[in-house]
Structure 1
Amino acid sequence: MAGEFNGFGEKAIPFLKALDFHQSREWFQENRDLYERELYQPFGDLVETLTKRFATARLGLRGDRKKSLFRINRDVRFSKDKRPYNRHLSAILSPDGTKMEQGVFYVHIGLERCFADIAWWQPGPELLLAMRNAIATRPDKFRALVAALKKNRLELETEGRMKRTPRGFEHVSDSDLAKVIRNRHFYVQHVVDPAGIHTAALVDELVDFTLRARPLLDWGRGIEGRAG
């Protein structure tokens, strides 16, 4: 049943820890009710509550409990690691409500950590080139983005950054621009205290983060519009 998010169950993280220990379909089926009550149903409530709040704030991000959540089952077809279950549960809210878009809100509740991203993650070659060109040809606008994020206590993450400058951008000599042109992803992240996932206040925390990340949303969407 759909409802307002009131927090994940107190046993949400302990469930993930136990599931990771057992990594057994039999154990999971025996404890499915616990999974549904403590983790899955609250996650659906979180997605749909955020969708309402994002709509009010005109952030252009939405989802629902059927389409937005990733499966807790791992895809092991091409992996040496054959453990059947993830150590986390996650979801995406996007401009069209699917997982196929860029410029998304991603939320992750897991054993190692809990966090949220606003992200262009592995954008396709055409869009990635357009983003790099925007940095190189409109440096003032990009630096304004960086300054706006810094003012909002955020910065672009560097995970996956290339070691060498991509072909065609060797002429970019400013170090701040040359570094970020090597990015494969453009995203900001907010770390969530696991102790804070059990109350409705998590919604306010995630909405605040997304509002602070709006400059990145605006910058990326502007580039997507020109590249499309």
Structure 2
Amino acid sequence: MDLKLILKYLTDLSENNNREWYHAHKAEHKAANAQFEELIQTLILQIGEFDGSILHNQPKDLTFKLVRDTRFSHDKSPYNPAFRAHISSKGKLPVPVGYYLMIKPGGQSFLGGGLFADMFKNGTAMIRDYITDHGKEFEEIIHAPEFQKYFKVQGTSLKKVPAGYDKEHPQAEYLKFKSWYLEYPVEDEALADADAFVTEAVKLFHMMKPFNDYLNKALDGFQMPARR
């Protein structure tokens, strides 16, 4: 697979972020998207060796559109020049959490895991409650030496521990969070050798799995809000 082709297309789109250019270069988009789907298929198969719950997925069902929703944004650029995918047991839904990949030129690419969305109040409460009752397990995961070498838990956070939770709890800092996720940055140069990149990505996703498993246990029974 040619990941440099993906970077070139996205770079060109970033420099020509308008509908006229986009529609005039559909062939380039199709070619780049085919390379991205090949990458996702390869990741599915290799991640599936340690997480079989994701093997049923088809790449085209895991990717996100380039079109941006500009209704409430000052930036009216119609496209997000990034190829993104979320691989989990239920596809690209944010819950259950899984393995996230974004390719975006200019050193903005990254590998991710955990819960990025912070708009699900029920989900946030479920994770806070689980951390309250299983704090030692959480600490063991995030303080494992190999984990700390590559990751730091990130997320939108409140200034204070929310009402109803112990301010003196050993994991009080994480009870402030509304989302809990991991990001590992990927430089453009790392995508030049596709095979080497896949090997590294799979290794990092494997290290994320205990964190993802923990959050998914916390989110067991979570129901996505119905669309109106």
Q: TM-score, normalised by structure 2?
A: 0.85
In 2, the alpha carbon distance for the partners of 1:72 and 1:168 equals 41
Mapped pair 1:89 → 2:83:
yes
Alignment correspondent of 1:221: 216
User: Which deviates further from its counterpart, 105-114 or 73-82?
Assistant: 73-82
In 2, the alpha carbon distance for the partners of 1:48 and 1:69 equals 11
Change (3 A) 1:178 1:59: farther
Which aligned runs of 4 or more in structure 1 are off by greater than 6 angstroms?
Answer: none
In 1, the alpha carbon distance for the partners of 2:213 and 2:16 equals 44
In 1, the alpha carbon distance for the partners of 2:13 and 2:77 equals 11
Alignment correspondent of 1:3: none
Output one character per residue of 1:163-208: Cα deviation in whole Å (capped at 9) or x when no partner. Answer: 1221111x2315x611111111111122222112132222111110
Alignment correspondent of 2:160: 164
**Shift, 1:32, TM fit:** 2.0
Mapped pair 1:55 → 2:48:
yes
Output one character per residue of 1:38-75: Cα deviation in whole Å (capped at 9) or x when no partner. Answer: x2111111111111112222253353232111111112
Mapped pair 1:19 → 2:17:
no
SS in 1 for 2:78: coil
CA contact (8 A) 2:82 2:102 kept: yes
The partner residue of 1:203 within 175, 198, 205 is 198
CA contact (8 A) 2:101 2:112 kept: yes
In 1, the alpha carbon distance for the partners of 2:105 and 2:173 equals 32
In 2, the alpha carbon distance for the partners of 1:192 and 1:7 equals 16
In 2, the alpha carbon distance for the partners of 1:33 and 1:202 equals 25
Change (3 A) 1:21 1:173: same
In 1, the alpha carbon distance for the partners of 2:76 and 2:65 equals 16
In 1, the alpha carbon distance for the partners of 2:76 and 2:206 equals 39
CA contact (8 A) 2:82 2:104 kept: yes
Alignment correspondent of 1:71: 65
Alignment correspondent of 1:40: 33
**Shift, 1:132, TM fit:** 1.0
- Fraction of identical pairs, as percent: 20
CA contact (8 A) 1:136 1:172 kept: no
In 2, the alpha carbon distance for the partners of 1:51 and 1:25 equals 32
CA contact (8 A) 1:7 1:200 kept: no
Output one character per residue of 1:52-106: Cα deviation in whole Å (capped at 9) or x when no partner. Answer: 1122222533532321111111122333322111131211111122435331211
Q: Which one-letter code corresponds to 1:190 in the other structure?
A: Y
Q: Which one-letter code corresponds to 1:32 in the other structure?
A: K
Change (3 A) 1:218 1:114: same
Q: Which one-letter code corresponds to 2:115 in the other structure?
A: W
CA contact (8 A) 2:103 2:110 kept: yes
The partner residue of 1:185 within 179, 182, 196 is 179
SS in 2 for 1:204: helix
In 1, the alpha carbon distance for the partners of 2:160 and 2:167 equals 12
SS in 2 for 1:191: strand
User: Which deviates further from its counterpart, 67-76 or 116-125?
Assistant: 116-125
Aligned residues: 218
In 2, the alpha carbon distance for the partners of 1:151 and 1:98 equals 27
